[in-house]
Structure 1
Amino acid sequence: MGKAFNPGLTLYHIPVEEIERCVMGLGNEKMTCRLARELDIVDFLAGQGIRPVKINGNDYWYHSPLREERTPSFKVNRKINRWFDFGEGIGGNLVDLGIRLYQCTVSNFLEILEGAALPDTSQQKRRQIPNPSGNKVEEIAALSSSNLLTYLQNRSIPLSFGQQYLDEVKFRWKGKRYRALGFKNDSGGWELRNEFYKSSISPKGSTYINRGNSRLAVFEGFFDFLSYLVLFGDSAQPADFLILNSLSFFESSRELMEGYREVQLFLDNDKAGREKIAYAITLSDIYHSQSSAYCGYKDLNDFLCGIAMNALPSDHQQPPGWNI
């Protein structure tokens, strides 16, 4: 019998271009092998509760999900998005993995992916992803959706932090209802996230949390901000917080940032993030990069998820190399 499917599956790494193409008129397109192969294997496994035992750069090592074993021999190279099981000498893409994991045909696995991609309990398929420009908020409520709470847990964020900084946003797009974690920006818009997509409700803008300190911590997205709170709690030096919600707001935030004695940048470990840090350092010596401390991870939340398999110390001691 095939493996039971976990509805908490995370499938939000489809390229933006493909999302936009589907939203603009191909929303009824079925899941294909080509689209399925583009889905992130690490996120797929995380959605099934399968966590890596070891991470070495782009290589994620697991106990094989295809059989019982004591020594991890199943590797996913996240850069090329391919897996290989050294114990059996087989590997491939997500489709190759899915048909073995669920012991099903290719067409059945594609149907599983389509059926998994439902916003909450609605019957809309994964390909119908809301376009920010057409979203209309219907209700703002406290977090209660089991799907959203599971997603928050999969991102290693405790419910207490979610309840403090996030809301459950119920909104409508093209007559269909959706819900997502909502993080409000200072312009009155919302950043929206659930396990299936990343979206927003205009107007776009950054989020500033002023606690009257002389030090500012800057993040690209709210999951990185929440990860900072999880990692350090009250052990970090007092700081105010700026969540850009998009790197495009960095320049317009300079006046605010440069009013501080120290600005610590927790930007993503990608080309755009590295370039923005390099640029900031040329502007003033108040800017300091923290990204090297989570080198090997794509961002601060990825770092948190990577170490979540080991219990964080109760006093939130800082990991070596951090200057917080």
Structure 2
Amino acid sequence: MNLNNLSCKSARNICLVKILAKLGHFPTRTTEKEAWFLSPLRSETQASFSVSLIKNLWFDFGLGKGGNTIDLIMAIKSCSVREALEFLNEDVNTFSFSPPIKKFRQKDTGLSIIDVQLINLEALLHYLKCRNIPLNIGRKYCRQVWYRSKGKQFFAIGLQNHKGGWELRNKYFKNSSSPKTYSFIKNDSRQLVITEGMFDFLSLAAMDKSLVQNSDCIILNSLAFIKRIEILIPVYDRVLLYLDNDPAGKKATASLLNQYEHITDHSDSYKDYVDLNEKLKNEKAWKK
């Protein structure tokens, strides 16, 4: 490698952990797959800056953005790509290079996204109406997603997760694209709202617009992702839970309440229903 002419491809393979150490940042916790740091981009007391040791990529959960080594230097030093490469080139012999990245494969859902648009198809407009979600709420947080599955083309209401995958819903199907994980909506708040599913979140946005707009919001998309968000919970002053009133939801709620003193359970506000959307649909029907 010509050290005097470091390419973007070579720069992206420089170990992020080594770069951060060179800049005076060290992990507070390390697992087999990732390292957690106090963010080098902002002030915080709980580590929410993650580095994937498999993909050599970073993500700042507090800012909701991430990238590769070049992106990190540009963000830290507020510089151009060329200046970032010059910085990395100066000390390239002190950095170690990650081996060729082995793709970490989650289970492939078999779906491929074709196009993402503003919600306008009559069938999806009707679906939102059936779930009693106002169109302005649906369009603000979701999109009309065309996707292919098993050789056929479909469309659905889509909510994007923080890794770029989509939760997909229409009248007939409930699907998701890879990678599947939780959705994270940032509003620069010290308060976090956690809902279980996509329509729970949309229902809460319809019921209490101010609460949602003035909170950071996590939509789990599956209770299986609770462990993934636990690193974020200590970052907030207050955490409000809106999980389902079923055995699995109650068990997850009890577990979180047992671990953190600043979490409150709000499932009592829809105690006669399984979830928020069921309450929204029933109350709207009652008023008609």
Q: TM-score range by the shorter chain?
A: 0.5 to 0.7
Whichever residue aligns with residue 189 of structure 2, its letter is: N
Contact 2:193 2:212 in 1 (8 A): no
Give 1:136's aligned residue: 112
Per-residue CA deviation, residues 274-302 of structure 1 (Å, 9 max, x unaligned), is 00011011101111111111012110111
Structure 1 residue 309 displacement after superposition: 2.4
**What's the secondary structure of 1:186's corresponding residue?**
coil
Whichever residue aligns with residue 255 of structure 1, its letter is: I
Correspondence 1:171 to 2:147: yes
Work out the CA distance in 2 between the residues paired with 1:147 and 1:212. Answer: 35
Selected match of 1:195 from 171, 174, 178? 171
Work out the CA distance in 2 between the residues paired with 1:138 and 1:165. Answer: 19
Per-residue CA deviation, residues 63-84 of structure 1 (Å, 9 max, x unaligned), is xxxxxxxxxxxxxxxxxxxxxx
**What's the secondary structure of 1:255's corresponding residue?**
coil
Give 2:215's aligned residue: 239
Work out the CA distance in 2 between the residues paired with 1:185 and 1:235. Answer: 21
Work out the CA distance in 2 between the residues paired with 1:242 and 1:172. Answer: 27
Give 1:302's aligned residue: 278
**What's the secondary structure of 2:179's corresponding residue?**
coil
Work out the CA distance in 2 between the residues paired with 1:251 and 1:136. Answer: 27
TM-score by length of 1: 0.54
**What's the secondary structure of 1:171's corresponding residue?**
strand
Work out the CA distance in 2 between the residues paired with 1:256 and 1:280. Answer: 13
Per-residue CA deviation, residues 192-229 of structure 1 (Å, 9 max, x unaligned), is 00001111001011111121211111001121111111
- What aligned pairs does 1:74-113 form with structure 2 within 5 A after superposition? none
Per-residue CA deviation, residues 139-194 of structure 1 (Å, 9 max, x unaligned), is 11111111111010000001111111111111111221111111100111000000
Work out the CA distance in 2 between the residues paired with 1:162 and 1:134. Answer: 26
Give 1:287's aligned residue: 263
Per-residue CA deviation, residues 92-129 of structure 1 (Å, 9 max, x unaligned), is xxxxxxxxxxxxxxxxxxxxxxxxxxxxxxxxxxxxxx
Work out the CA distance in 1 between the residues paired with 2:176 and 2:216. Answer: 24
**What's the secondary structure of 2:109's corresponding residue?**
helix
Contact 1:132 1:199 in 2 (8 A): no
Structure with higher Rg: it is: 2
- What aligned pairs does 1:1-324 form with structure 2 within 5 A after superposition? 133-234=109-210, 238-310=214-286
Work out the CA distance in 2 between the residues paired with 1:142 and 1:163. Answer: 7
Work out the CA distance in 2 between the residues paired with 1:249 and 1:178. Answer: 26
Whichever residue aligns with residue 154 of structure 2, its letter is: Y
Work out the CA distance in 2 between the residues paired with 1:197 and 1:276. Answer: 26
**What's the secondary structure of 1:228's corresponding residue?**
helix
**What's the secondary structure of 1:250's corresponding residue?**
helix
Please list every run of 5 or more consecutive structure 1 residues that lacks an aligned counterpart in the other structure: 1-130, 313-324
Structure 1 residue 234 displacement after superposition: 2.5
Runs of 4 or more off by more than 3 Å in structure 1?
A: none
Whichever residue aligns with residue 219 of structure 1, its letter is: T
Work out the CA distance in 2 between the residues paired with 1:175 and 1:282. Answer: 46
The CA RMSD over aligned residues, in Å, is: 1.9
Structure 1 residue 265 displacement after superposition: 0.5
Work out the CA distance in 1 between the residues paired with 2:259 and 2:198. Answer: 25
Work out the CA distance in 2 between the residues paired with 1:162 and 1:238. Answer: 18
Structure 1 residue 252 displacement after superposition: 1.1
Structure 1 residue 238 displacement after superposition: 2.8
Change (3 A) 1:194 1:132: farther
Give 2:85's aligned residue: none
Structure 1 residue 237 displacement after superposition: 8.6
